[in-house]
Amino acid sequence: MTTVAGAGEGLAAWITPSRTAVLVIDIQVDFASPEGALGGYVDMAVVQPAVTAAERLVEAARGAGVPVVFVGLFTAPETDSPSWKERMRRRGGDPDNESALCREGEVGSDFYGPKPLPDDLVVKKVRYSGFVGTNLDARLNALGVDTLVVAGLTTECCVDSTVRDAFSLDYHVFVAADACAAYEPEIHAASLKVMELNSAILTDTAAIAHAWSA
């Protein structure tokens, strides 16, 4: 991360609550909990600071009246991507096993850390981007939102894919860098740099909370 938008010129106006929503991407048991599907292969300690930061971000958003949208992966065998599975096969993996993440109705798809309240929007997706095959764009438009603050897992995958699509749909995109994580810190850092270069402004939860408190 090379720059962080602070409380100086613009941030409070850029993310004013009347135009902004928080997107929480894929912070779910299979991706974040030691008890989830990836917990046996990945040290989930690396993502816990981001989960905690996302909880602070959600709390700040609710305090400021900013809508929080929980975007999660909810899969079923019939919605698995044939091209994704073939790519896994060509790489020598087990496509059926590796596709069985965040199966709808199973514990692995439950949100972890920050959790939706009854009035929060929940958008279920079956691809990396929160905008592909969902009504996320329509729901944000209905709220009068043109600005997004994004947090979640993992930085280089579903966060990056959602951010790119949001920017292509003409949203103003801010990434809460400390509320995102990848399983390898260097991948997280590189992904933040790419998003900063191409599609988002980087900030952090402290700056965002300060802007909303002002």
The residues that are catalytic are: 26, 125, 158
DSSP of the chain? ------SSTTHHHHT-TTTEEEEEE--BHHHH-TTSTTTTTS-GGGTHHHHHHHHHHHHHHHHHT--EEEEEE-B-GGGS-HHHHHHHHHTT--HHHHH-SSBTTSGGGSB-SS---TTSEEEEESSSSTTTTSSHHHHHHHTT--EEEEEEE-IIIIIHHHHHHHHHTT-EEEEEEEEEE-SSHHHHHHHHHHHHHHT-EEE-HHHHHHHHH-
Do residues 194 and 182 make contact, with C-beta atoms less than 8 angstroms apart? no
Rounded alpha-carbon distances, angstroms, from residue 181 to 16, 33, 44: 25, 13, 10
CA distance 158 to 160: 5
